[in-house]
């Protein structure tokens, strides 16, 4: 008897990015098929289970970050990287847009040597072919423990669309992304 059952087990992969305020880093990934989940949280530091207030104090070493779970059979890690790059200013070492400080800096946290190599290749491509005049300063770092942020931060753009919209525009992110990425 032949088994015609389809193998429904998906091969999920995890990508972790810091791109400034995590509120603005969830929505860009949500609209793509193959993205299973996007979680706001903290990573990069050494304090276990930090709170938002602790991370904002700039004393934990943590970045505000998102962890993207995706089906690698539907969307590739290089495609996920492209979404990340088009959501940030990778030339700003001091934070992102209206948010300043180490917890708002950009970073790619790799979970495998393959991710590291693909991230390095994509950063070289952005440096070589723009759209920026300044060099990309986004570091590529080994993944550290990721701590889920408080529930009120999860899917903030859906829970508080008016505030999110004002923040996205008022921080300068919207205009920057439109100027630099709209033609790509």
- What positions carry a catalytic annotation? 21
- How far apart (Å, rounded) are the C-alpha atoms in residues 160 and 23? 10
Strand partners of residue 100 = 95
Q: Which residue has the tokens 């590739």?
A: 76
- How far apart (Å, rounded) are the C-alpha atoms in residues 136 and 39? 25
> Is 105 in contact with 22 (CB distance < 8 Å)?
no
- How far apart (Å, rounded) are the C-alpha atoms in residues 115 and 47? 25
- How far apart (Å, rounded) are the C-alpha atoms in residues 111 and 84? 16
Angle between helices 161-170 and 23-30 (to 10 degrees): 110
**Using CA of residue 23, residue 25, residue 29, residue 31, what is the dihedral sign?**
positive
């Amino acid at each position: 008897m032949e088994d015609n059952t389809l193998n429904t087990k998906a091969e999920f992969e995890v990508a972790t990015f810091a791109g400034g305020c995590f509120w603005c880093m969830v929505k860009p990934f949500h609209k793509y098929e193959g993205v299973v989940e996007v979680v706001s949280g903290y990573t990069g530091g050494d304090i276990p289970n930090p709170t938002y207030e602790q991370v904002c104090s700039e004393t934990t070493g943590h970045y505000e970050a998102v962890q993207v779970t995706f089906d690698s059979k539907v969307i590739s890690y290089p495609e996920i990287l492209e979404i990340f790059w088009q959501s940030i200013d990778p030339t700003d070492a001091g934070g992102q847009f209206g948010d300043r400080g180490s917890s708002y800096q950009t970073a790619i946290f790799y979970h495998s040597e393959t991710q590291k190599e693909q991230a390095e290749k994509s950063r070289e491509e952005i440096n070589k072919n723009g759209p920026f005049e300044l060099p990309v300063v986004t570091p590529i770092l080994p993944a550290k423990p990721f701590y889920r942020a408080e529930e009120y931060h999860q899917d903030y753009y859906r829970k508080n669309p008016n505030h999110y919209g004002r923040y996205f525009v008022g921080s300068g992110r919207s205009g920057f992304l439109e100027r630099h990425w709209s033609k790509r």
